Amino acid sequence: MKFGILINEGPFTHQASDSAYRFAEAVLARGHEIYRVFFYNDGVYNCNKLSEPQSDDRNLVALWSKLGTENGIDLVVCIAAALRRGIKDEVVAEGFRISGLGQLVEAGIEADRLVVFGD
């Protein structure tokens, strides 16, 4: 099965990003495919390589970056949401790319299921 994932919350203020990451790991472990992960609203904070979580906290930016790079997953950050939050290309972590909402629409069309995390 092919999944699309939409993340609407940041990595440090809500459980959604962590739950989405664990879901993505489980999907891959079961042999399924992730077509695209789309980061929208505060979810765009998941790509900010300048974030520095506490030493006892999970670094979701690094985890998403590694998961995307190692598994060839398209990690797309909404350009409008990113710019509203001061996120530009120079602060986007490896494996992520900035693009438009059309990428979310395409994920909904191409994936068998689009799973949403966060409000």
CA nearest neighbour of 51 among 62, 42, 41: 62
Q: What is the rounded CA–CA span in Å between residue 92 and residue 85?
A: 12
Helical ranges in the chain per DSSP H = 16-29, 60-71, 79-84, 102-110
Give the domain CATH number at 38: 3.40.1260.10
The answer to whether 91 and 83 are in contact (CB under 8 A) is no
Q: Which residue segment(s) compose the domain that 6 sits in? A: 2-117
pLDDT for position 66: 97
The answer to whether 78 and 51 are in contact (CB under 8 A) is no
47 given a catalytic annotation: no
Residues of the chain with pLDDT > 70, as a percent, come to: 100
Locate tokens 């992730």: which residue? 34
For 7-63, the pLDDT digits (tens) are 999 998 889 999 999 999 999 999 999 999 999 999 999 999 999 888 878 899 999
Asked whether residue 64 carries a pLDDT value surpassing 90, the answer given is yes
- How many structural domains does the chain have? 1
The catalytic residue among 37, 61, 73, 78 is 78
pLDDT for position 58: 87
Q: What is the pTM of this model?
A: 0.95
